[in-house]
Amino acid sequence: MSDCVKYEVHGEVAVLTMNKPPVNGLGADLRAGIVAALDQANADSAVRALVLTGSVRAFSGGADVTEFGTPKAAREPNLRVVIDLIENSGKPVVAAMGGQCLGGGLELALGCHFRVALADATLGLPEVKLGLLPGAGGTQRLPRLLGLEAALNIIVSGNPTPAIKFKGTPLIDEIVEGDLVSGGVAFARKVVAEGLPLKRARDLKVRDPQSDAFLQFARNTITAALKNFPAPLKCFEAVAASVSKPFDEGVQVEREGFLALMATPESRALRHVFAAERAATKIADVPEGTALRPVNQVAVIGAGTMGGGITMNFVNAGMPVVLLETQQAALDKGLATIRKNYENSMKKGKLSQAQVDERMGLIKPTLSYEGFRNVDLVIEAVFESMDVKEQVFKKLDEVIKPGAILASNTSALNLDKIAAFTKRPQDVIGLHFFSPANVMRLLEIVRGAKTAADVLATCMAMAKKIKKIAVVSGVCEGFIGNRMLARYGAAANGLLNQGALPQQVDGALQKFGLAMGPFRMGDLAGLDIGWAGRKRRQAENPGAYVPVVADRICEAGRFGQKTGAGWYRYETSKRDPIPDPIVEALIAEYRKEKGLTPRKISDTEVIERCMYALVNEGARILAEGIAARASDIDIVYLNGYGFPVHRGGPMLYADMVGLPNVVRRLRQFAAEPGADPSWQPAPLLVKLADEGKTFN
C-alpha cells in the first residue's frame, strides 16, 4: 500500500486518508494509492462502505503542480480513471471534505456517491485561472449536482466557495460539526443501515427549465468580458454540453476543450505566472527557515506621495506606523491625503467609519526622532537626492536601535552608497514600492552588497504580510523594472524619430494588451521626472548624452496631465488623451534638424522594437545577476508596469516568439545607421538562442 493513503477499517467502514502534504496534490503516487485502497476495500467482504478523506488543511488542492511537465503527470491511472473507478465502485464511497477541496480535488469528490464537509471547507474549480478547464469530469458532474447557473458561475469564475453555502443541495449531503472523519464514518453507517442507493452524478440530468435562454445570455456575457482569454468560453461550451449531451459525450467535449486550451499561449502564460509567483519567494543563498527579525513597530520618513501610500500598507495590515516629516504643513498634507484615500474607500462601501478611524489611529505623526528607539523597521521616502538621503540615514544610524532594519524607497540612487552613510550597512535594504504604493502589488526588494540574509528574509516575509508580491533585485541604476523601462522608453522615442507618432505607438501597444502605452504613461506620471533624470545623467557624463525629442516637449512646458498638455493635450479636468498637432510639429521639426527622414512604420514593428528592447535589457539584467531568474523579471513587469497577464511577461513573450527570431530582429535594428548600441543583442540572449534554449 502506498504511503500516500492511510487505510483503516472502523467496523464495516474503510477510511482512506490521503496523506500527501502539504495539500494532497493528486500526483502519480497518490492516484495509485487511492486505487489500491479502493480495490482493497472492495475486496474485503467485511467492509460495507468507504470514506475518502484528507487532512485538516486539505481534502485535496488538485493537481500536483510539482509534477507539471514531467512524465509523472501523465502516468496511469490518470485522475479521470481514478474518479470513474470510485463512481463505479459497488460499495458506497463518501467524500469527507475539510480545508481546500479544489480543482481535481473537487472533481474527485464529485465522483464519490455522497459528500459531507466541514462548514468552512473551500470548494472550487480554479482551472480557468490557469487558462484551462476542469478536465476530470467537473464540467459534467457539477451542473448535474448543482444546476446549470450555479455550476457555470463556479467554473467560469474559478473562485472558491465555503461548503456551508451548498448545504441543502445535492453537492453536500451533510455539514459535519466536530471531527470530520467521525462525521464521515457516521454518515457511511447511515447509508449502509438505510440501504441508500448509490448516487452517481453521471446518472443525473441537469435541472434547468430555461437553459436555452440562460445559455445564450451567458455566452454573450462571457464573450464580451474576456476577449483575451479563450478558457472561459471553452468552460462555457463544456458546461453547455452537460445539458444537451449524454454524460460520456459531454466528457468528450470537455476533453477536447482541455487539450485545446493546454496548447494556447494564454494558458502557457497563466501557468507560467502561477509558477513564477512561487519561484520569486525563493532566494538561493537565504535558506527557508532563516530566523526573522521582529517587525512590530514601523516608521516612515517623509509623508509625500510614496510615504503616505507606504504607511497605508502597514496600517491596513494592523501595524502601527510612526510617520515623520520636517514641517507641520507637509505632515498635515500627507495625513489629509491618507484620510481622503480611506474616505474614498468608505464611500465605495469597502470600509466602515470605525475602520477608517482605527486605521488613522494607528498612525503616529511626528516632527522629531524622539521615540524612534522602539522602531524595528524604518522606510525612508524623502526627496530623491543623495544629500537628503545622507542626512536622513546618518540620523537614523544615531537614533535607531541596533538590529533594526533601515530601508530606502529610492527609485534610482545607489543603495550601497546609502548603506555606507551608516555604520551598519548589513541592516540597510531597498524597499522599492510602486506608485500608488497602497494599490500597486509589486515591491522590488533591493539587496545591497552587504545586506544581511536575515534582513532580506524578514523583508520578504513582511512583504507577504502587507500583501505585496516581492521580487529581489541587485543594485543598479533603476533596478530591474525602471532599468528595463528606460530601454523601452528609448525604443518608443526612437520610433518617433523614424516616423511614428505617439498615438500610433500607444495604440499598437495597447492593442498588444498593455494597460497604457509609453506616451500616455509618461503624461500620467509627469514628463518632468524623466527630464530631470536625463539632465542629471547629462551633468554626470556630458559626452554620452544623446538629446531626445522628449526634451523638446518638456522645454515647451508640457509636463503631461498635470500641465494640461504633454505628448497629448487634455481638456480641463479630463484625462482622455487628445492627439495634438503642436506635438506633431515639434517632432517634425526635431526630425528635420537631425536630418531624419520619416518612413511608414507598421504596428508589428512598434511591438517588436518596444518588446525586444525590454527583453534585451532583461537578458543583461539576468546575466549580471541583478535578477535571479527570468520569471522574476516577468513578475516585475506584470505587477508593476501593467504588462498583460495573457502574455506572461516580457521574457516569456520572447520565449514564445522564439529567441532566434528576437536576436535576428535585434541585429537588424543594431545595423541601422546611427543605431543606439544597446540594440546589440545581449550575449546571454544570443547564447540561449544558439543553444536552442529559452529563458524560462
Ligand X SMILES: NC(=O)c1ccc[n+]([C@@H]2O[C@H](COP(=O)([O-])OP(=O)(O)OC[C@H]3O[C@@H](n4cnc5c(N)ncnc54)[C@H](O)[C@@H]3O)[C@@H](O)[C@H]2O)c1
Residues serving a catalytic function are 107, 127
Per-residue binder mask for ligand X (CB under 6 A), 593-632, x = binder: ----------------------------------------
Q: Give the nearest distance from C-beta 440 to ligand X in angstroms.
A: 9
Closest distance to ligand X from the beta carbon of 534 (Å): 15
Q: Residues with Cβ < 8 Å from 106, sequence gap 6 or more?
A: 62, 123, 124, 125, 134, 138, 142
Rounded Cα gap, residues 358 and 573, in angstroms = 33
Q: Which three cell numbers stand for residue 591?
A: 526630425
Nearer to ligand X (CB atom), residue 111 or residue 334:
334
For ligand X, the closer CB: 371 or 658: 371
Three-state secondary structure call for residue 366: strand
| Cα–Cα dist 191/357, whole Å | 54
Residue from 134, 183, 307, 489 in contact with ligand X (CB under 6 A)? 307
Q: How many residues bind ligand X (CB under 6 A)?
A: 23
Stretch that binds ligand X, among 170-178, 218-226, 302-310, 625-633 (CB under 6 A): 302-310
CB-based burial of residue 555 (10 Å sphere; 0-12 exposed, 13-18 middle, 19+ buried)?
exposed
> Is the Cβ–Cβ distance between 624 and 476 less than 8 Å?
yes
Q: Which is nearer to ligand X, 282 or 373 (CB)?
A: 373
Residue nearest to ligand X (CB): 304
Of the candidate spans 92-100, 245-253, 305-313, 584-592, the one that interacts with ligand X by CB under 6 A turns out to be 305-313
Tell which one of 411, 438, 451, 639 touches ligand X (CB under 6 A). Answer: 411
**3-class secondary structure, 322:** strand
| Cα 345 to Cα 60, 197, 280, 353, distances in angstroms | 36, 52, 31, 10
* Closest listed residue to residue 429, CA positions, set 416, 441, 438, 442: 416
Question: Which window, 405-413, 444-452, 468-476, 631-639, contacts ligand X (CB under 6 A)?
Answer: 405-413
Nearer to ligand X, 475 or 685 (CB): 475
Query: What would the grid cell of residue 231 be?
Result: 478558457
Q: Which is nearer to ligand X, 199 or 441 (CB)?
A: 441
Query: Does 78 contact ligand X by CB under 6 A?
Result: no
- Beta strands, E only, 153-254: 161-162, 174-176
Which of 125, 171, 306, 496 lies at the binding interface for ligand X (CB under 6 A)? 306
- Does 302 engage in binding with ligand X (CB under 6 A)? yes
Residue placing its CB nearer to ligand X in the complex, 246 or 436 = 436
Q: How many angstroms separate the CA atoms of 151 and 264, rounded?
A: 24
Backbone dihedral angles phi then psi of residue 95, each to the nearest 5 degrees? -85, 130
Region near ligand X per CB under 6 A, out of 103-111, 125-133, 159-167, 299-307: 299-307
**243 near ligand X, judged by CB under 6 A:** no
Question: With respect to ligand X, which residue has the nearer C-beta, 279 or 524?
Answer: 524
Give the contact letters, 424-463, x = binds to ligand X (CB under 6 A), - = no. Answer: ---------x-x----------------------------
Write out the three cell numbers for 438. 497602497
Contact (CB, 8 A) for 133 and 154: no
Closest to ligand X by CB, 84 vs 384, is 384
Q: Verify binding: residue 325, ligand X, rule CB under 6 A.
A: yes
Q: Quick one: which of 19, 78, 161, 326 contacts ligand X (CB under 6 A)?
A: 326
With CB under 6 A as the contact rule, the residue among 42, 252, 290, 305 that binds ligand X is 305
* Segment lying near ligand X (by CB under 6 A), choices 340-348, 409-417, 550-558, 627-635: 409-417
Q: Which residues contact 358 (CB under 8 A, 6 or more apart)?
A: none
Quote the strand ranges of 304-418, DSSP E: 321-324, 363-366, 377-380, 405-408
- For 380, the 3-state DSSP assignment is strand
Number of neighbours of residue 419 by Cβ within 10 angstroms = 23
The number of beta carbons lying within 10 Å of the beta carbon of residue 193 is 11
Quick check: 330 binds ligand X (CB under 6 A)? yes
145 or 406: whose CB is closer to ligand X? 406
Three cell numbers written together for 342: 480611506
Among 304, 320, 507, 642, binds ligand X (CB under 6 A): 304
Q: Under the criterion CB under 6 A, does residue 661 sit at the interface with ligand X?
A: no
- Considering the complex, what minimum distance in angstroms separates the CB of residue 308 from ligand X? 8
Q: Rounded to whole angstroms, how far apart are CA atoms 670 and 491?
A: 12
CB of 546 to ligand X, least distance (A): 24
Q: Is the peptide bond before 77 cis (omega within 30 degrees of 0)?
A: yes
Torsion of CA 129, 350, 310, 638, to 10 degrees: 20
Residues in the chain: 696
Which residues between 375 and 394 bind ligand X (CB under 6 A)? 381-384, 388, 391-392
Cα distance between residue 255 and residue 250, in whole Å: 9
Residues that bind ligand X in the complex, under the rule CB under 6 A: 301-307, 324-326, 330, 381-384, 388, 391-392, 409-411, 433, 435
